[in-house]
Structure 1
């Protein structure tokens, strides 16, 4: 388009551009890509979805694509408005096309929510790095998985790769399980073929041996599974800081005794160092943390007492490839997105993939 402002000035601009001229200075404010423009771009991207479809299939696909595109834009506007500007990026458009195509094929609401979460996370990556590549791959992999596969990835990711620092007692531990594990319990399976498929799709690998769920929880949340010790143990060692409430509390499992105030040894070591405690006291407090730790059978019993449905989770974990399954970066990204899809906010994926 050519636009004449006066006999001395002319400009060549594109169809979607704005030409501004003046005799003096001009301030230009670039408002970027709007939501309506993103919808138009997305509509153009989606045309390839319908290329070989006819009749009712084409109409159904069109409805689904419009639905998922609106969901993407709404999620971006709510969680990450700056991501709307990614609509002009070729790689983002390809990722969007993947979401549109896969949702048009299945119409599965849960899969759609998962893909939208993955795409929004992908929009937050400013450059082509490992996280962006993993999220792109996750968008292509997730549609190959069933609800059981997705549930397994979420539970494995949660138990093997995360720790909730807000778990301070049995009530909070139970609430943590209710929020993060209970939604997946009915979908977990012991079927070996399911884990072989997860391996085939690049979500992880089945190793030899494995680690029991009791062992994992007994390490990550050790403070929940202590029998406690007599207060005299502190003076007998001796520990110079004495019965300091920074380090000792009444035992969660026996109020007549006390225990070290920590969930895991790793966190305890860091906390002691931050408090400037002597190396001698540090070693003795760490010794007390292991004093009276429950056996695995006792840990199992306590977990089931706190939340009876965990009996099914432990049984499935013990008698399936879950206990020996190691997640790849793609498996972590999908497991992470599946948790976030159900519970809302969750720690940033870059903690695990960077």
Structure 2
């Protein structure tokens, strides 16, 4: 088979591209926003399948919308990432996002793909985060919104902790902001979790993990039943009723509690006060002895926000309680939360490094 010769000309300073199929840009000069946008358009046009008239117009409009959202986010969050447009690996990732958005037209998916792409521009080296983000861009379009919501809730309640939740009001607002948007969308069927396993987002195991465990470990200070002041003397705590260490109980104003959110913060606080070692052991014992059980924790959460009953029921009656996330499941859950709250969330590198 003979090849058809191709010719083209380009003005000074412009980027000339032609291909029978893939378009890869390898020039080493810095790209402007306009040039980077044109690279994305050319890669998409060179690789996306040719569709009939109306379908082609729809697909093109969807890809255009994703590109504009991406470059808008990138210019605000990581302007230096613009130079990633020259990298073949990133071009492939960007094309994947455009292709899937053009195919599905799902607005929520599109926003999540944009978030994953922006994170992808922050990793120019071929490290674990880059590999995970590339795989997540391929995997996210294979999931329903309900499956993505399940990944996000598992990620949130099993893998994260918010040390600013120092009151029941703060906890309720946290539920409103992060949990409520997911609660009504959760996919809980066995088939849904089989598919999540198939796509590499996680695995259903024998070990069970309930939200009550996470709430107990991370926010124990909000779920203490309190103790009588006499308990300090009975336990022979030498510092006595030190207001730096003890406070009125959040759940029973007639009693006291240890002033700490969790064991880690308690240890740090006591160390900063130079509390004697023997007292530290006794105070920790008091902190753990007065905690609520799981049923009481659940009841308190439902008291604060009645919709939490639905969350607890969905978790305990489905494979959510047995599901462990992979790095890809974490990345997708993380990106979906960022999409929902509409603001900066903790960096993915905390969990994938």
TM over 0.5: yes
2:352 corresponds to: 353
Contact 1:142 1:334 in 2 (8 A): yes
The residue number in structure 2 matching 1:52 is: 50
Task: Give a deviation string over 1:79-112, Cα, whole Å, max 9, x none.
Answer: 1111111111111111100110000100111000
Task: Check whether the contact 1:220–1:264 (CA below 8 A) recurs between aligned residues.
Answer: yes
Aligned mate of 2:110, from 109, 112, 132: 112
* Cross-structure match for 2:71: 73
Name the residue aligned to 1:186.
Answer: 184
Instruction: Give deviations 1:5-49, integer Å, cap 9, x for gaps.
Output: xxxxxxxx995379xxxxxxxxxxx99322111111111111134
User: Offset at 1:266?
Assistant: 2.8
Instruction: Check the 8 A contact 1:69/1:100 in 2, yes or no.
Output: yes
Separation in 2 of the partners of 1:241 and 1:81? 54
Could you tell me the TM-score, scaled by structure 1's length?
0.89
The reply on whether 1:145 has 2:143 as its aligned counterpart is: yes
Match of 1:295 among 279, 293, 296: 293
Deviation string 1:280-325 (CA, Å, 9 cap, x unpaired) is 1211110010122112211111110011000000000010001110
The residue number in structure 2 matching 1:158 is: 156
Partner of 2:257: helix, strand, or coil? strand
Partner of residue 16, structure 1: 13
Are residues 1:251 and 2:252 paired? no
Q: Is 2:37 the counterpart of 1:39?
A: yes
Query: What's the C-alpha RMSD, in Å, of the aligned pairs?
Result: 1.9
Moved more, 176-185 or 122-131: 122-131
Aligned partner of 1:23 in structure 2 is: none
Structure 1 equivalent of residue 167 of structure 2 = 169
Shift of 1:213: 2.1
Gaps of 5+ in 2: 1-9, 16-27
Residues 1:329 and 1:275: Cα distance change in structure 2 (over 3 Å): farther
Residue 90 of structure 2: aligned partner: 92
1:197-346, aligned counterparts within 5 Å? 197-343=195-341, 344-346=343-345
Aligned equivalents of 1:331 and 1:272: distance in 2?
37
Which moves more between the two structures, 93-102 or 49-58? Answer: 49-58
Partner of 1:5: none
The change in CA–CA distance for 1:246 and 1:45 in structure 2 (over 3 A counts) is farther
**What corresponds to 2:81 in structure 1?**
83
CA distance, structure 1, for counterparts of residue 101 and residue 241 of structure 2: 59
Aligned residues: 331
Give secondary structure in 2 for the equivalent of 1:202.
coil
Distance 1:124 1:274 in 2: 36
For 1:275 and 1:201, how far apart are their aligned partners in 2?
Answer: 50
Higher mean Cα deviation, 269-278 or 285-294? 269-278
The normalised TM-score by structure 2 is 0.89
- 1:231/1:257 contact within 8 Å kept: yes
Residues in 1 aligned to 2:265 and 2:11: alpha-carbon distance in whole angstroms:
58
Query: Retained in 2: the 8 A contact 1:229–1:291?
Result: no
User: What secondary structure does 2:152 align onto?
Assistant: helix
SS of the residue corresponding to residue 66 of structure 1 reads helix
Could you tell me whether the CA contact under 8 Å between 1:148 and 1:188 is conserved in 2?
Answer: yes
SS at match of 2:247: strand
Cα deviation, 1:228-276, whole Å, max 9, x if unaligned, reads 0012222332223332333221100001111111222233223323443
More displaced stretch, 226-235 vs 170-179: 226-235
Residues 246 and 261, structure 1, Cα contact 8 Å, conserved in 2: yes
